[in-house]
Amino acid sequence: MTTGNNQSRVTVIVGAQWGDEGKGKITDFFAGDSDYVVRYHGGNNAGHTVIVNGNIFKLHLIPSGVLYSRPVSIIGNGTVIDPDALIKELDELEKRGVKLNLKISYRAHVIMPYHIAVDEGLTGYQGALAAGSTKRGIAPVYADKMYRHGIRMIDLLEPEIFHEKLEKSYGFNVNLVNNVLGVEFDKPLDDIYLDYLKFGQRLQPYLADTELALAQAHAAGKQILFEGAQGLSLDVDHGIYPHTTSSNMTAGHIAAGAGITLRSIDRIIGIAKAYVSRVGISPFPTELDESEAKALRDKGGEYGTTTGRPRRVGWLDLVQLRQAVRVHGLTELTLTKLDVLSGFDELPVCVAYEARGQRLEEVPASLDLYREAKPVYQNYTGWENLSVAQINRILKTGFTGLPQAMRNYIQFIEDALECPISIISLGPERHQTIVR
Ligand code: GDP
Ligand code: IMO
Ligand code: MG
């Protein structure tokens, strides 16, 4: 893909699995050379960890470029914003000395307290078909957007239209909460109205027509980096529906979620862990049973950034990644947490599924078939546990310094997916990264 006749480079970073692949770390790694770092979907269901010189930052809605002074952070129109949670995130960053250069789209939708109550009720209502949501109000706010009685950030600056919209949205959702989902919600409309007008005033300096700003930046040759949240298996269209989130994180969604032309994209970098983790509910073909899972979970620190829930873990799944390469249109992959995957004699890699006597090379649309999918494994020789000193040596040498068995593992994945693995991550710190 080309950028036309200017020097702008547009890079999109997206999750290739079930989220938590290390998108935050890799976004931060690239952000220092970017003029804009942009979130284009999702909300504070996301949790992105960035670690620089031992300082740990847990970001939820603020893009993971915020630690640099150069880029403008943009929260695009396709995101959904809990203003209370966002203000807490901003305050916390400012307290730690981070200077904010932030713009928030007027058009982003607002998560209201009753959306969180609906989300609480939905998990019980949906039972075995629930996704195990983060209870941040994500599905209900996107539902309101589609019903077209949603509230947008700009409405918080316009008291009359805000009240008019709030009456519709509040009436609908409170009825749903109390009478369908059976959850208590008794916060009066006027209290919410006053609280949210205050949130609007607090966030007003950041609100802007970010779609226009990005188009102008692109035309002026600026470097723009998009940070996806979640991962393709959680995409509401392409993921394991209904065990998904409620937005699209496919790279192509930057047009809808940030208002920039698709003709602008140069690089689409998929982030994949060297194994798989899943927080929440869905079938998970390569999941390890609990006796094996605990060691990998603890070694990899696999506990949710947003909810603290223990993440389920399993072997690398190439069927899942094949779909991610295809649907995102990846130009390359980053493989993270290879340091965590060390110390195993054998590494099983899932190359296909088997269900009802059929071999499946692709993720099936049928949930029923997916529930029955059993992994077909090809075994790879593992590599020894890597000490900190060994990792530091490898980081100095680069790709050729990796253990031969790790290089074989990487080569196999690359060949099987027909997608280059251009970046290797060997630790959570910004500098623990190898570009090939
Ligand atoms: P995201 O949601 O995709 O941004 O990922 P999270 O930040 O939720 O989860 C990834 C976790 O792995 C975080 O705790 C990161 O600090 C950590 N991490 C990222 N890359 C690596 C790596 O290569 N090795 C290790 N050991 N940890 C990593
Ligand atoms: P990052 O950006 C992992 C999962 C939830 C649940 C489903 C729906 O950190 O990779 P939601 O609250 O969105 O309605 O939950 O999606 N989920 C995530 N899992 N990482 C995330 O984000 C996630 N965001 C949502 O666990 O299964
Ligand atoms: Mg995460």
Where residue 126 sits, what CATH number does that domain have? Answer: 1.10.300.10
Assess whether 114 and 64 both reside in one domain.
Answer: no
Q: What number does the ligand 1 atom closest to the CA of 64 have? A: 4
Assess whether 153 and 217 both reside in one domain.
Answer: no
Please give the span between the terminal C-alpha atoms of the chain, in angstroms, as a whole number.
21
d(CA 234, CA 246): 8
Q: Cβ of 55: how many Cβ atoms within 10 Å?
A: 11
Pocket of ligand 2 contains residue 47 by CB under 6 Å: yes
Helix pair 404-417, 318-328: axis angle to 10 deg: 50
Under 8 Å between Cβ of 189 and 167: yes
Q: Dump strand ranges (E) for 45-193.
A: 48-52, 55-59, 72-75, 80-81, 102-105, 109-110
3-state SS, one letter per residue, for 309-355: CECEEECCEHHHHHHHHHHHCCCEEEEECCCCCCCCCEEEEEEEEEE
pLDDT given at position 306: 76
Pocket of ligand 1 contains residue 301 by CB under 6 Å: yes
Nearest CA to ligand 1 atom 1: 20
Would you say residue 18 lies in a domain?
Answer: yes
Instruction: Please report, for the domain that includes residue 380, its CATH number.
Output: 3.90.170.10
pLDDT given at position 8: 65
- Token output for 106: 């007027």
Assess whether 79 and 223 both reside in one domain.
Answer: yes
User: What are residue 423's phi and psi, to 5 degrees?
Assistant: -135, 140
Q: What SS3 class is residue 255?
A: helix
Range of the domain at 159: 109-203
Would you say residue 278 lies in a domain?
Answer: yes
**Which pLDDT tens digits describe the chain residue by residue (436 residues)?**
333 445 669 999 999 999 999 999 999 999 999 999 999 999 999 999 999 999 999 999 999 999 999 999 999 999 999 999 999 999 999 999 999 999 999 999 999 999 999 999 998 999 999 999 999 999 999 999 999 999 999 999 999 999 999 999 999 999 999 999 999 999 999 999 999 999 999 999 999 999 999 999 999 999 999 999 999 999 999 999 999 999 999 999 999 999 999 988 999 999 999 999 999 999 999 999 998 999 899 999 999 877 888 999 999 999 999 999 999 999 999 999 999 999 999 999 999 999 999 999 999 999 999 999 999 999 999 999 999 999 999 999 999 999 999 999 999 999 999 999 999 999 999 999 999 9
Under 8 Å between Cβ of 24 and 49: yes
Find the 65 Cα to ligand 3 centroid distance in Å: 15
Residue 151, phi-psi category: left (phi > 0), alpha (psi -120 to 50), beta (remainder): beta
- Give the residue from 167, 184, 203 where a domain finishes: 203
Would you say residue 134 lies in a domain?
Answer: yes
Assess whether 302 and 412 both reside in one domain.
Answer: yes
Find the 235 Cα to ligand 2 centroid distance in Å: 10
pLDDT given at position 1: 38
Would you say residue 326 lies in a domain?
Answer: yes
The strands making up 72-75's β-sheet, listed across from edge to edge, are 207-208, 102-105, 72-75, 36-39, 223-227, 9-15, 265-273, 332-336, 421-425, 433-435
Q: What number does the ligand 1 atom closest to the CA of 305 have? A: 8
Would you say residue 4 lies in a domain?
Answer: no
Assess whether 302 and 426 both reside in one domain.
Answer: yes
Find the 23 Cα to ligand 3 centroid distance in Å: 8
Would you say residue 1 lies in a domain?
Answer: no
**Strand 9-15 relative to strand 265-273: parallel, antiparallel, unpaired?**
parallel
Pocket of ligand 2 contains residue 233 by CB under 6 Å: no
Assess whether 163 and 143 both reside in one domain.
Answer: yes
Catalytic residue check, 163: no
Domain count for the chain: 3
Pocket of ligand 2 contains residue 242 by CB under 6 Å: no
Would you say residue 35 lies in a domain?
Answer: yes
Instruction: Please report, for the domain that includes residue 38, its CATH number.
Output: 3.40.440.10
Catalytic residue check, 328: no
Assess whether 34 and 116 both reside in one domain.
Answer: no
Assess whether 283 and 264 both reside in one domain.
Answer: no
Assess whether 256 and 352 both reside in one domain.
Answer: no
Assess whether 56 and 164 both reside in one domain.
Answer: no
pLDDT given at position 309: 86
Would you say residue 315 lies in a domain?
Answer: yes
Assess whether 113 and 25 both reside in one domain.
Answer: no
Nearest CA to ligand 1 atom 21: 428
pLDDT given at position 92: 97
The residue annotated as part of the active site, out of 35, 41, 48, 235, is 48
